[in-house]
A and B are shown apart, each in its own frame.
Chain A
Amino acid sequence: MSKRIDVKDLNVYYSKFLAVEDVNINIDAKSVTAFIGPSGCGKSTFLRTLNRMHEVIPGARVEGEVLLDGDNLYGPGVDPVTVRSQIGMVFQRPNPFPTMSIRDNVLAGVKLNNTKISKGEADVLVERSLQGANLWNEVKDRLGKPGSGLSGGQQQRLCIARAIAVEPQVILMDEPCSALDPISTLAIEDLINELKDQYTVVIVTHNMQQAARVSDKTAFFNIAGTGKPGKLIEFGDTPTIFSNPTEKATEDYVSGRFG
Chain B
Amino acid sequence: MTTTSLTKSRGAGHTGDKVFSAAALAAGCLILVVLFGVALFLVIQAYPALVAPPDKIQGGEGFFTYIWPLVIGTLIASVIALVIATPIAIGVALFISHFAPRKLASGLGYVIDLLAAIPSVVYGAWGVAFLAKEISPAYNWLANNLGWLPIFQGPASATGKTILTAGIVLAVMVLPIITSLSREIFLQTPKLHEEAALALGATRWEMIRMTVLPFGRPGIISAVMLGLGRALGETMAVALVLSSGALTASLIQSGNQTIAAEIALNFPEASGLKVSTLIAAGLVLFVITLGVNMIARGIITRHKEFSGAN
Contact = CB atoms under 8 A, between A and B. Distances in A.
Interface of A: 51, 53, 56, 58, 81-86, 88-89, 91, 93, 95-101, 108-109, 112-113, 146, 148-149, 159, 162-163, 166
Contact of B199 (A88, A96, A100, A149): A88
Nearest to A148: B310
Question: Which of A83, A98, A146, A149 lies at the interface centre, i.e. has the most chain B CB atoms within 10 A of its CB?
Answer: A98
B200 A99 contact: no
B193 interface: yes
A99 B307 contact: yes
Contact of A166 (B192, B200, B307, B308): B200
Contact of B192 (A51, A81, A91, A99): A91
B188 to A, nearest CB: 13
B201 A82 contact: yes
Question: Which of B102, B192, B194, B306 lies at the interface centre, i.e. has the most chain A CB atoms within 10 A of its CB?
Answer: B306
B115 interface: no
A31 B89 CA distance: 49
Contacts of A97: 193, 196-197, 210-211, 214
Nearest to A113: B201
Contacts of A53: 195, 198-199
Contacts of A96: 196
Interface string B153-168: 0000000000000000
A246 to B, nearest CB: 34
B75 interface: no
B206 interface: yes
B215 to A, nearest CB: 6
24 contacts: A53-B199, A84-B201, A85-B201, A89-B195, A91-B192, A91-B196, A93-B192, A95-B190, A95-B193, A96-B196, A97-B196, A97-B211, A97-B214, A98-B310, A99-B217, A99-B308, A100-B306, A108-B197, A108-B200, A109-B202, A146-B310, A148-B308, A149-B305, A149-B310
Give 9 nearest A-B pairs by CB, closest first: A85-B201, A98-B308, A99-B214, A109-B200, A89-B199, A95-B192, A84-B201, A95-B196, A99-B306
Nearest to A147: B306
A142 to B, nearest CB: 12
Contacts of A149: 305, 310
B21 interface: no
Nearest to A98: B308
Contact of A98 (B102, B197, B306): B306
B203 interface: yes
A95 B203 CA distance: 18
B305 A146 contact: yes
A162 B202 CA distance: 13
A257 B146 CA distance: 82
Given A97-B211, A99-B215, A51 B310 contact: no
A210 to B, nearest CB: 22
